[in-house]
Amino acid sequence: MNNAVQIAEQWPGWDGASAFEELLDVRSPDEFAEDHAPGAVNLPVLQNDERATVGALYVQTGAFPARRLGAGLVSANIARHFASHFAEKSRDYRPLVYCWRGGQRSASLATVLAAVGWRVTVLRGGYKTYRAHVRDRLETRPGEYKYRLIGGATGSAKTQLLHRLAAHGAQSLDLEGLANHRGSALGHLGPQPTQKMFESRVLAALEKLDPTFPVWMEAESNRIGALYIPAQLWAAMKVAGGIELKMPVGGRVAHLLSEYEHYVSDPSELIRTLRQFATAHGGPQLREWESQITAGHWVGFVASLLAIHYDPRYAASAGRCFPNITQPVALDDASDRELDRVASELQEA
């Protein structure tokens, strides 16, 4: 590698990474989509199909033909990046570059950047070094904080209170936001990140928090949609104290209808999603719910779903998973006024 290129022997951590103007991930878009360092910019030196072609040629004919083809493709991609991404970079530009293992792909871009005169650093071991850092830190970092959990039955506005607490200056960790899922069986919000990406997001969020102050979180199960909360964080959550929101059923129903408007506007999607409840509640109950949905009896449907499905499950699991959530907190409804009142009281306590 060019002598002007510096080598980082390990992932510098989030404080260290902030010393670089940019984190450049030169892997293919598919590799980047699976996981990457939060904040990294994807500047692939080989596109998905190009990487597959070079790899196949390597297997079929050996290293030299593959490298010859790869060099041309890499050169063309780097040229495009210089015509766009690097076109306006200043003389003091200082990036950190990584690829899969800190090998030829990162070296190819780093060598050209250094030739221009920029101070460029390559992460030895590439993404694999970064991923090892994430795994190691998730074994210890979650235990450095004191957590305060927000419990409560479905529809109690736990997420909204978490956001209000953050707005009032409290530290918070929004796992549902990081997972892009509301946590419940009907909580699909769109594509979720991969498990690796979720873990990257969780660690990045934790690293920004101050261990000397409490961190507010929702009392989640260990699984949010298809993703699992990192084991040490889940273990810390199970012994944490917190509050249990108490809201009248009418307030919960109104809140859920406002939060899940997409189901009201597309009842067919809701009916399809509800079919996963057939095993637990049987065909007759499912048909009754479908009838209420079709007739537009939304208040009755949501109240029934809470009474028959969600509330019994919450009652059975809350004490078992979170025995230290012992402080009841009353909310009349999910209005901004009520949420601000409770958030303010909790901050002052």
pLDDT of 202-231, one tens digit each? 999 999 999 999 999 999 999 999 999 999
87 CB-contact burial (10 Å; exposed 0-12 / middle 13-18 / buried 19+): exposed
Pair 286, 192 in one domain: yes
What number of residues does the chain have?
A: 349
Q: How far apart are the first and last CA of the chain?
A: 57
Residue 72 lies in a domain: yes
Structural domain tally of the chain? 2
Same domain for 82 and 170?
A: no
Does the pTM surpass 0.75? The reply is: yes
Q: Is residue 297 part of a domain?
A: yes
**Please, which pLDDT band fits residue 276 given cuts at 50, 70 and 90?**
confident
Judge if 157 and 49 occupy the same domain: no
Pick the last residue of a domain from 111, 136, 161.
136
Q: Do 69 and 202 sit in the same domain of this protein?
A: no
Annotate 148-200 with DSSP letters as a single string.
EEEEESTTS-HHHHHHHHHHTT-EE--HHHHHTB-SSTT-B-SPPPPHHHHHH
321 plus 219 within the same structural domain: yes
* Eight-class DSSP state of 309: I
Q: Are 70 and 197 found together in one domain?
A: no
Same domain membership, residue 319 and residue 246? yes
> What whole-number distance in Å separates Cα of residue 180 and Cα of residue 190?
7
Domain range holding 43? 6-136
Same domain, 94 and 174: no
Which structure tokens are listed for 64? 């030299």
Six token digits for residue 86 = 């690097």
Of 94, 118, 136, the position where a domain reaches its end is: 136
Number of alpha carbons in the 13 Å side-chain half-sphere of residue 133: 21
- CATH classification of the domain holding 251: 3.40.50
Given this model, what pLDDT does residue 102 score? 74
Are 205 and 178 a contacting pair, CB within 8 Å? yes
CA distance 232 to 217: 15
Predicted confidence (pLDDT) per residue in 101-147, tens digit: 978 899 999 999 999 999 999 999 999 999 999 999 999 999 999 99
Which residue has tokens 């939304």? 298
| Residue 321 a catalytic site member | no
Instruction: Note whether 177 and 201 are within 8 A (CB).
Output: no
Rg of the chain over CA atoms, in angstroms?
25
- CATH code for the domain in which residue 118 is found: 3.40.250.10
The answer to whether residues 99 and 157 belong to one domain is: no
Determine the Cα–Cα distance for residues 11 and 256; give it in Å rounded to an integer: 43
Of the residues 106, 136, 166, the one at which a domain ends: 136
> Is the domain of 200 the same as that of 65?
no
Decide if pLDDT at 1 tops 60: no
What are 313's two structure tokens?
């499950």
What would the two tokens of residue 173 be?
A: 């960790």
CB 37 within 8 A of CB 25: yes
Which amino acid would we find at residue 294? T
Dist CA 217 CA 178 (whole Å): 12
**Active-site annotation holder among 23, 26, 57, 99:** 99
- The SS3 of residue 121 is strand
Contact 119, 89 (CB under 8 A): no
Same domain, 337 and 210: yes
| Domain-embedded: residue 1 | no
pLDDT digits (tens, 9 = 90+) for 284-331: 999 999 999 999 999 999 999 999 999 999 988 888 899 999 999 999
Q: Taking 90 as the threshold, does the pLDDT of residue 3 lie above it?
A: no
Residue 235 to residue 324: CA distance in whole angstroms: 13
Amino acid at 63: A
pLDDT at position 2 is 58
Amino acid at 146: K
Asked whether residue 329 is domain-assigned, the answer is: yes
pLDDT digits (tens, 9 = 90+) for 8-23: 999 998 777 888 999 9
The predicted-structure confidence for 50-75, as pLDDT tens digits, reads as follows 999 998 998 999 889 888 998 999 99
Same domain, 117 and 183: no
The answer to whether the beta carbons of residues 100 and 128 sit under 8 Å apart is yes
